[in-house]
Amino acid sequence: MGPGRRRAALLLIAVISVNASYTVMIPFVPDLEDRVDAGPVLIALTFALFAAAKALAQPVGGWWVDRWRADRVALLSMLTAALGIVLTALARDGFSLLAARVCWGIGEGLVSPALYAGMAALCRQYRISTSRMMGNFGSAAVAGFLLGPLIAGAAVPVGLSGLFLAGAVVTAATAVGLLRAIPGPGETGPEQEGEEQNEEPAATGALAQGRWWVWALLLGGLDMFTTLVYSALEPVLPVYLSKGSDSSARTAISVVFVAGLATSGLVMWLLGRYTVRLRTLTAIGLGFAAVGLCAMAASAEVVAVGGCFMVFMVGYATLFLTARRGIVELKAAGHGGKAFGLFGLVSDIGSVLGPVIGMALYEITGRLPFLLLGAVCGLVLLGLAAVGRGARRVPAAAAVAEADQTVPSP
């Protein structure tokens, strides 16, 4: 394994660690009721304040990356997250718990732009395919989401304090690993690391030098939409399945979500092996998402919902990969960190709005949320197709006009 691959492996381990810590709290919600006398409001704030702190910290982390060094920012950010994990383990009242979760969220928010910047630097320095790296990045993210609850479930006898203190040690070790993984300023690598950097010219490249923030907002908006739809399903599908499953609802919910997340991880890994135009990937993702969502309304049986959810997750994985590959390929000289931070802030808005929108639609309309969300995906796909046709007409018209000007007059 060459130095580029070793560094990439350390970076992906950090991605798994960050995403696992995001979901590891879920199985311990009942423990919070006894530990800090947490009611529904405090439990909701425990998750909401973490997400809000993470979202708001990302632009700050992006600015910090541009002003300093991505590797040092990653180190200090992960150590901040480790401190938050320790404080969460030691919290014995509601205020301490919320303060600890905010500290934890700030650390994870600050490190996100550093991870993207580190990935972009590795791809440039070692000539690693951006598409392949993003596929591995997405698979690592999904693996982290799956790993968090599994670790928490296996470590229930250890208790919340023991697991989180051990997690803080792992996070601190990951921070040191990131210091070695992310290239520092002035580092040079081999001309090629066994992979050809066969990338399409970034669709944003021509405009990004002066308008990088426009493309960061557009790509963040695509990811916000993707995240909103998925996070809307997180509370809706369990309620939906509990009414249509004859067996244990908890088993049905677990099977559906594990199958869907595993599908998305596999799709991201496979798509990373091919270089496909971002516009084409977006169209494919929207198409699969629309079909899967609309089909979910047909039946609440676990097999039917599971199959439809897997179809939707193919679309989710494709859109997830598209947005992140676009932001990594963005040519924003001197503003790369801020672009990553702005992208992350906009993207995380979907996580905040999705559950609220999903449950509100379900309470009002029953199965209709699946059809509405699917229809929105279809409309976005039609809009993308219309924009693509318009973009093709403009060069064609310009070519005809130029040809007319070169034809000599009779």
Confidence of residue 198 (pLDDT cuts 50, 70, 90): very low
More confident residue, 245 or 363: 363
Q: Which two three-digit tokens encode residue 149? A: 């609850």
pLDDT number for residue 319: 94
Confidence band for 245, pLDDT divided at 50, 70 and 90: low
Question: What is the per-residue pLDDT for 318?
Answer: 94
Is residue 65 within 8 Å of 117, Cβ to Cβ? yes
Q: Which residues contact 371 (CB under 8 A, 6 or more apart)?
A: 293, 294, 297
Mean pLDDT on 107-111: 93
6-20, 116-130, 234-248: least confidently modelled range: 234-248
Res 385: pLDDT:
77
The predicted pLDDT at position 337 comes to 79
pLDDT at residue 197 is higher than 70: no
For the entire predicted model, the pTM comes to: 0.76
CATH of domain 208-393: 1.20.1250.20
**Mean pLDDT value across residues 191-203:** 45
Residue 273 DSSP class: T
Residue 40 has pLDDT above 50, yes or no: yes
**Predicted pLDDT of residue 130:** 82
CA distance 229 to 377: 9
Q: How far apart are CA 93 and CA 25, in angstroms?
A: 16
Query: 208 pLDDT exceeds 60?
Result: no
The pLDDT of 64-81, averaged and rounded, is: 91
> Is the per-residue pLDDT at 392 higher than 60?
no
For residue 200, the model assigns a pLDDT of 46
Does residue 375 or residue 146 have the better pLDDT? 375
Share of residues in the chain with pLDDT > 90 (%): 26
Work out the average pLDDT over 15-20: 86
Residue 190, pLDDT score: 54
DSSP letters along 113-149, please?
HHHHHHHHHHHHHHT--HHHHHHHHHHHHHHHHHHHH
Q: What percent of the chain has pLDDT over 70?
A: 84
Better-predicted residue by pLDDT, 86 or 147: 86
Report, as an integer, the average pLDDT of 127-154. Answer: 82
Per-chain mean pLDDT for the chain: 81
pLDDT reported for residue 409: 41
Token pair recorded at residue 302: 């676990």
**Where along the chain do the CATH 1.20.1250.20 domains lie?**
3-181, 208-393
Per-residue confidence (pLDDT) for residue 74, from 0 to 100: 92
pLDDT of residue 206: 41
Residue 348 scores a pLDDT above 60: yes
pLDDT at 399 over 70: no
pLDDT at 66: 87
The pLDDT tens digits of the residues spanning 296-320 come to 988 888 899 999 999 999 999 999 9
288 pLDDT exceeds 90? yes
Tokens of 344: 């992350």
Given a cut of 90, is residue 405 above it in pLDDT?
no
For the domain with range 3-181, which CATH number is right: 3.10.180.10, 1.20.1250.20, 3.40.190.10, 3.40.50.1000? 1.20.1250.20
Integer Cα distance of 344 and 217 in angstroms: 10
Q: Is the pLDDT score of 285 beyond 90? A: yes
Question: Of the given ranges (152-156, 207-211, 363-367), which has the lowest mean pLDDT?
Answer: 207-211
